[in-house]
Amino acid sequence: MPDGAAPVLDVKGLKTVFQTRSGKIHAVNDVSFDLRPGELLGVVGESGSGKSVTMMSLIGLLPSPPADVCAGQVLFGGRDLLKTDADALRGIRGKRIGFVFQDPMTSLNPVFNVGFQICEPLRKHMGLSKAAARNRAVELLELVGIPDARRRLDDYPHQFSGGMRQRVMIAIALACDPEVLIADEPTTALDVTIQAQILELVKDLREKLGMAIIWITHDLGVIAGIADRVIVMYAGQVVEQAPVQELFSNPQHPYTRSLLKTIPSVSGDRAPRLQVIEGQPPIQMKAPDACPFLPRCAHGFDRCAAENPARLAVGQGHDVACFWDPATGGPRHV
């Protein structure tokens, strides 16, 4: 995709805190990224790294309180979504930005048949008649590869298998031809052979529909297979961003580097022992004033404790938030 193209979605300096009884949790800390037309942006990180909260913050899906999206800008279609009122936002969600969540069982309503659930956005957002919406729903189910689509419209979610439910979710998300699709761990609850089916489907749909996709996952294998560009999140921050080939062949951040080494693969060399990242991800009870990865980092030095590194360009479309330089094994000279 052309580098110069104006982004569909531009997120700048996003911050989200949760007010809890034991204090403020800084879940998203100054996150910036953009999404370009037609690309698939992978977002990786462990649980608690803030990847889901980031996405929910930018389209106003977090209940407030306890959540407070306290800073930043989310530019989409010429306006700032954070300054958009709830009504207008409702007109964008589901219409221009579609969503697929991790667990298709809990995100579908068990008491309505899937036909109703697919038609709902079509009638609300597109103003289609009942019959027209139903026809479009059949088209959508066929698009996502559900056999015998017309008859299955009257089935309830529990009559579908996990993989088929996820296809229904994708059909709902695609209903209004969104410009952006946000998929939050859409295949994590599925078996590998079903996951492979969904990944093929998404690749196929991208070619057909050409929308931009944000794909959240903790599975680097999935990312390697489908993403164009990747951002790596840790403790509510983007620690590295790179084109997918570059990230896997030339990772810069110590977290990305060790993450890539900790995962075994089904092909390639088999290491006699897995590399370990000692310790565990932090819970941010205060705004970060040092590198959040420092306690688990093998390369940290005094500067990492004194300030939180800003993201620094290290290559074409590649930036990293780290003071350490893997090329020299010493501090990065800025």
Burial class (CB in 10 A: 0-12, 13-18, 19+), 78: exposed
- Which position among 6, 105, 276, 285 is part of the footprint of another protein (CB under 8 A)? 276
* 156 lies in the site for another protein, by CB under 8 A: no
User: Is 221 within 8 Å of 263 (Cβ atoms)?
Assistant: yes
The binder of another protein chosen from 196, 290, 294, 312 (CB under 8 A): 196
Burial class, 299, CB count within 10 angstroms (exposed 0-12 / middle 13-18 / buried 19+): middle
Window contacting another protein (CB under 8 A); options: 29-37, 176-184, 259-267, 317-325: 259-267
Could you say whether residue 164 binds another protein (CB under 8 A)? yes
Identify which of residues 15 and 197 has a Cβ nearer to another protein in the complex.
Answer: 197
Compute the least distance from the CB of residue 214 to another protein, in Å.
Answer: 18
163 binds another protein (CB under 8 A): yes
How many residues does this entry show for the chain? 334
Q: What is the DSSP string of 251-320?
A: --SHHHHHHHHH---SSS---SS-----S------S---S-TTGGG-SS--HHHHHSPPPPEEEETTEEE
Q: Binding another protein by CB under 8 A: which of 13, 66, 77, 221?
A: 221
Q: Which is nearer to another protein, 20 or 64 (CB)?
A: 20
Among 22, 193, 316, 328, binds another protein (CB under 8 A): 193
Q: Does a cis peptide bond (omega within 30 degrees of 0) precede residue 288?
A: no
Task: Name which of residues 41 to 80 contact another protein (CB under 8 A).
Answer: 46-47
Do the beta carbons of residue 16 and residue 70 sit within 8 Å? yes
Residues that bind another protein (CB under 8 A): 46-47, 161, 163-164, 191-197, 199-200, 218-225, 244-245, 248-249, 258-260, 262-268, 270-271, 273-278, 280-281
